[in-house]
Amino acid sequence: MNWIGKWRNQYGSIVEIIDDANGKLAGMFRTALPDSAFYGQDVRISGIHQGNCVCFAAAGQGPAGDVIVSYTGMIREGRMETLWFVVADAALTASAAGEPAAVKKLNWWRSMTTSADTFKRVS
């Protein structure tokens, strides 16, 4: 399986894989979602692959602090079908409507978000 290329998900976010040698992946991720902690950034990805199976992750900082996203999935019918997890160390919260937000550390169970994305190769 050749993983090198640009892959776009259903929201317009892009994963660009620039190296897939020796079972490893390297590249970058750029989200299209303005409410993502990574919005406006190109974050480096690294990962592994075996046959049609793939896993990669990115880490960075958002407005509230440290964030990591990991994707695990496989190729089916030319699409990269993935499940993802985001872990965020903190969130911006306000004590009441109209009050300024402040960074608040999250309990571990509150810091996790998960969903699924389908990426299609665009180049």
Its pTM stands at 0.92
Q: What would the two tokens of residue 117 be?
A: 């994305």
* Strand 14-19 with 90-93, pairing: unpaired
pLDDT digits (tens, 9 = 90+) for 32-61: 999 999 999 999 999 999 999 999 999 999
CA distance 98 to 17: 42
Instruction: Return all residues near 24 (Cβ < 8 A) that are at least 6 apart.
Output: 46, 47, 48, 49
Nearest to 73 by CA among 97, 54, 100, 88: 54
Indicate the pLDDT class of residue 109, thresholds 50, 70 and 90: very high
Indicate the pLDDT class of residue 13, thresholds 50, 70 and 90: very high
Ordered structural domains, the chain, with CATH: 5-118 (2.40.128.30)
Nearest to 86 by CA among 102, 104, 64, 119: 64
Average pLDDT over residues 78-93: 96
Report the pLDDT value the prediction gives residue 55, as an integer from 0 to 100. Answer: 98
